[in-house]
Structure 1
């Protein structure tokens, strides 16, 4: 009874995380009640809204109020957009929706980023004050909320993008608004994907809300398979290798050789894939068990043959969201707008300033100057710049979405640069149309190496940590002791090999494995589930291991 009390009351010590038993007890109870209600659509939606809000409350406490604010404001703005016949009014309303959501996101996620950048640029010493907490404390004599810190609500980047897509899709006449705020609240807060995606587009999910629940045998089989696969990815290929190797190295990179640092970075590529795709696999599986389809978010990203291909396979719901709601509205590959040039200039200046390296500053200034002169003198150069400026801007903003730091902007910019370079390289590459296995292997190897290398700006705690990592790579590779490192962490490296090999297996083999699971008797499924549970339990640590993308 005490365990149930801990699960169904708020406690920071007992969050509802997919990898903890508390969540599965919660889901079992919630699913039992769902089975009694699912035939009545409105009651089903109201029930799922309530347990989703409770799930978020268990994860983020009173920040559920921010989720409710976003839900209420966008529900009514969506109604006003749909009912308005005046185009200017419709534009004002959709702009209002975007501004409310982005300002809310910016307040909680980027307040320190903007303040620190301003202080560094103008040599001031402004401090962040939580004005929302100050206002809330004004209603009582007691100070319930701290005013000297702004805490980032879990998953705010995900549900903010979902509510924006709802208003924009109504404006574009792709959907009609939901009549019930309960139904809309369910769309915004559906608990499997609420805190770490995938980002659900209104045009894809809203039509499911008013349909009867149908959980077919195929849905059950695929749903349970996805859950088991996700648990293995997260608890073994992500958490185990992180706890027993990578976290130690990244915490103090200067204490390890360059070789060990490189191996840790290679391991991190497996960790972040296992962590994030594991979460979305579980989310998709849970949704299927309740009769709802969530979008695919990963498609074997480390099989990508170039950077552009990688971003079509990695975090697909974000990549397509940025394409449809940012890249194309800015002009796509046709032209760069004045806004594009201004925003890109600000971001580039910020990255250069954050790096603080005079050589980098000089190189960037020289490249910008040369490109500017060539664009003025030669129209063809200007055309190429216009064709790529929105791509670079989208990747830079995508980097900023991932974290409120200039190192994330730099990471996004490097990925964008990788896409642009490949666009021109493929025109002269003698291997572009080659069907030989070695050419295909080489493309995958180069792409994986580049994606893994730039992740140091994603994983590094600070630019100082990243500098230490580089220093060890350049000055202390220590190949003489490489074998000793591999032997000492042999279990970790064996798991890494298994993880990468399983990722690179042919898709046909994976489909056959899923098919065999689906057609197996129920007792076989039970045995498989038991074995996976035991395996994950053996790898489980008492240390709390949140999903990486919770911070976004």
Structure 2
């Protein structure tokens, strides 16, 4: 893990050998592929077999798609690739979700049984795997999307397949971003694999700067406030006032940003030191002026992936497709079965019929309906990608509602085109509140846990003792304030800080790195804080 000394000893050894072989491209790629497999094995053990399986399947399917002259065969192959990858992902990530949902809807009592582990144990004649539960392999959501992008980009004609399976394995498993992203698109990373390594002074400066910045974000702005305040509140919200719960949610927005963007900063920095460019994954998301603008700044590699491989194929902002209507029919049918009351049985068909009638009368209305359905489906599926639970679906749906609502609001808002700083500040503030307080569905461990949080906020704000909370946890709140100030600094100021770092002499960089290391490990606790997105 990037915050442990063990990793940096590992990386130092890897980098020393890399520096001696990087000029030989084939050897470099084979070496980094082997190191990445070792890294994943140390992270996930025998689940490395799933990674190798995905690599083999998509390498050969991608090559066959490229060599095929039949459009029908190409379509069958790309659909096969997508289905295999999604079935593997669904098996490990959504088995409990689908089983529990089925049991709830149809009042059955089906149990999850790990057939893959059962077959594996039978094949090996030993009990290597646990059969009574399915464990989620680390990073499966990330590398699954990467291998899908490879097959689809070849099918679309945007990419030529790699000739070597070792090179493709390197693309799938590159260790800095393997377990928590950013999601690397084949068309942007594959061309780098066949190029000679070039690490300029600028790349080295930027890479080390990103690593130091990522460590500060993770270990101070995320872990410190989580260990000393946030986790205590979220573990037992009923033991704290509503005010403390609200402050914990505000702190959680900083924590999850510091945690996830800290990881990707370090991953980008490590890749730069080896001559590879990973995509930017965050762009000051809490400067966003709307929910849609936020998702263009947050987890950019996922939101653009969903846009290009889901939203646009569903019809985007132009039309609806057969897949659009099938998916929305399944979702609405599930809602009707879940609620199972007369009001829902009447309301949903009535709304559907009204939408169909309006779409039939007006092409403009039809276009709006299709666009907004596609937006909602993309956000619902994006929510489900984050976790196999209805609370993630609700979270994704709320974000979808936020995006759609703002699309209509901006057409009637008298301040939409205003350049006044107060208007801009209000948009940023309101968007931040919306994003922060919909995240209770992201952070809450269960719907009961979320309800307890809501109860405290609604019934026990306890303003009388609010100052005591601020005083007793003042170090946490000072760190939170510093974190948000750093986040909201102008881009020009941040660029100047990075430029100043780059121009500083090597001894100054060494001293600065040592200072950052001391500060981070002074804030470090014996309670290990894994990266939040490892669970996704």
TM tier relative to shorter chain = over 0.9
Aligned to 1:391: 375
Q: Structure 1 288/357 Cα, relative in aligned 2: closer, same or farther at 3 Å?
A: farther
Cα offset, 1:137, TM superposition: 1.1
1:271 to 255, 274, 278: 255
Instruction: Describe the superposition over 1:317-376 as per-residue Cα deviations: whole angstroms up to 9, x where unpaired.
Output: 001101111111111111112321221243355567778999999877775565455445
2:292 to 308, 311, 324: 308
Name the count of aligned residue pairs. 536
> Which one is further off, 20-29 or 351-360?
351-360
Matched, 1:100 2:81: no
Matched, 1:520 2:507: no
2:332 and 2:466 map into 1 onto residues whose CA distance is 38
Aligned to 1:486: 470
Matched, 1:433 2:417: yes
The two structures have a TM-score, normalised by structure 2, of: 0.97
Aligned to 2:189: 205
- Secondary structure of 1:279's aligned partner: helix
Aligned to 2:531: 547
Q: Structure 1 526/140 Cα, relative in aligned 2: closer, same or farther at 3 Å?
A: closer
1:354 and 1:236 map into 2 onto residues whose CA distance is 43
2:232 and 2:324 map into 1 onto residues whose CA distance is 41
Q: Structure 1 269/43 Cα, relative in aligned 2: closer, same or farther at 3 Å?
A: same
Q: How does 1:119-518 map to 2 (within 5 A)?
A: 119-348=103-332, 350=334, 371-372=355-356, 374-375=358-359, 379-518=363-502
Instruction: Describe the superposition over 1:428-478 as per-residue Cα deviations: whole angstroms up to 9, x where unpaired.
Output: 111111111100000000110100111011111011111111111111111
Alpha-carbon RMSD across the aligned residues, in angstroms, is 1.8
Aligned to 1:114: 98
Instruction: Describe the superposition over 1:483-525 as per-residue Cα deviations: whole angstroms up to 9, x where unpaired.
Output: 1111111111110000001000000000000000000000110
Q: Structure 1 159/432 Cα, relative in aligned 2: closer, same or farther at 3 Å?
A: same
1:520 and 1:100 map into 2 onto residues whose CA distance is 50
Instruction: Describe the superposition over 1:76-119 as per-residue Cα deviations: whole angstroms up to 9, x where unpaired.
Output: 00110000000000000011100110000000000000100001
Cα contact 2:225–2:476 (8 A) shared by 1: yes
1:483 and 1:125 map into 2 onto residues whose CA distance is 50
Cα contact 1:110–1:404 (8 A) shared by 2: yes
Cα contact 1:347–1:409 (8 A) shared by 2: no
- Secondary structure of 2:527's aligned partner: coil
Aligned to 1:6: none
Cα offset, 1:198, TM superposition: 0.4
Q: Structure 1 367/266 Cα, relative in aligned 2: closer, same or farther at 3 Å?
A: farther
2:14 and 2:169 map into 1 onto residues whose CA distance is 18
The two structures have a TM-score, normalised by structure 1, of: 0.94
- Secondary structure of 1:139's aligned partner: helix
1:245 and 1:106 map into 2 onto residues whose CA distance is 35
1:359 and 1:428 map into 2 onto residues whose CA distance is 32
Q: Structure 1 379/278 Cα, relative in aligned 2: closer, same or farther at 3 Å?
A: same
Matched, 1:76 2:53: no
Q: Structure 1 370/450 Cα, relative in aligned 2: closer, same or farther at 3 Å?
A: farther
Cα contact 2:213–2:265 (8 A) shared by 1: yes
2:336 and 2:249 map into 1 onto residues whose CA distance is 24
Matched, 1:50 2:34: yes
Cα offset, 1:38, TM superposition: 0.5
Cα contact 2:317–2:367 (8 A) shared by 1: no
Instruction: Describe the superposition over 1:215-270 as per-residue Cα deviations: whole angstroms up to 9, x where unpaired.
Output: 10000000000000000000000011111111111111122111111111111000
- Secondary structure of 2:480's aligned partner: helix
Matched, 1:37 2:24: no
Cα offset, 1:384, TM superposition: 1.6
Cα offset, 1:398, TM superposition: 0.4
